[in-house]
Structure 1
Amino acid sequence: MRKITKRSAAVIGATVVAIGGGAAWAATSWFEGEGTASASSSTVQKVTAVGTVSEKLYPGKSATAAVTATNPNDYPVSVTGTSDLKVAVTGAPGCAQKDADLSLSLPPANTIPAKSGATPGTLTGDWTNFVTMGKNADPACAGATFALTFKLEGKVA
């Protein structure tokens, strides 16, 4: 058996690399391709929340609202807050929004599911201590009924 010299080993190594590299080049050169894709984004639809407070309010009282939130979007959302509270008062002459001294607390942690087909996602639950009548509410608001409207703040869940 013949002894392999360093020079022979180098020539054999270079030949193996050249053959292997050529094979790799040959395998990739037998392929050509291209691709395209298109996508569109979802639209933004208004999420709504409808609630009822069954407890009676009085100065300093916070009450829980039973709320159903509806999401017509393709994606789940979380309501994180409220803003722009407006209060319509009936049944108590002399009581206006500022006199009622009403405020809203943060909604509880929530995720309203995305719509399924044409059916909006819904979440029903209690928003504990959601509506508060401030301690400075005017006595003229005794016996009043309040209709509250507000904007929902939130994010994609």
Structure 2
Amino acid sequence: MHQQYLNECVKEPDPEYLVWKKNEILLAGYLGYAVDRIRVKEKTEIDLFSYRKAADDRGLMLSEIEAHILMKTEAFSMAIVQKRDKVFLRNVSAKISQNALYIDGHQIKLKKKSSGVCDVPIGYVDQIAPTIDVYTIINDEAYLFGIRFCKKGI
């Protein structure tokens, strides 16, 4: 009997069962989310360009502004904007209430201008972290963006 057990071939799991189990694990992961929130995780790569700021006293030119849109709807948009050597997170909305904004786990206070534009400074091009996570709640929907900065010519 022992010899028969040793000679018995190894049985492979049923492929249909493995597919079912994988889908069940994936669907069970959604049970941990809040019912009234949609979670979107998006990874984005953004190119940052070097800027020489020595003795520059002229006004900001349009060619010195680089914008990378993270999210855009009819009533709201969020983008990473590079103005010369500074990097901002820009929120533009007229009627949407943004409940919270976190950058790398730190809550950011938003001060809106009358035009609905809100610029949150992230840092300078030469000193910015290579990756940041931006988490925001807009109209009870949660969004998470993983942003990786690629420094060009720095």
Larger Rg: 1
TM-score by length of 1: 0.26
TM-score by length of 2: 0.26
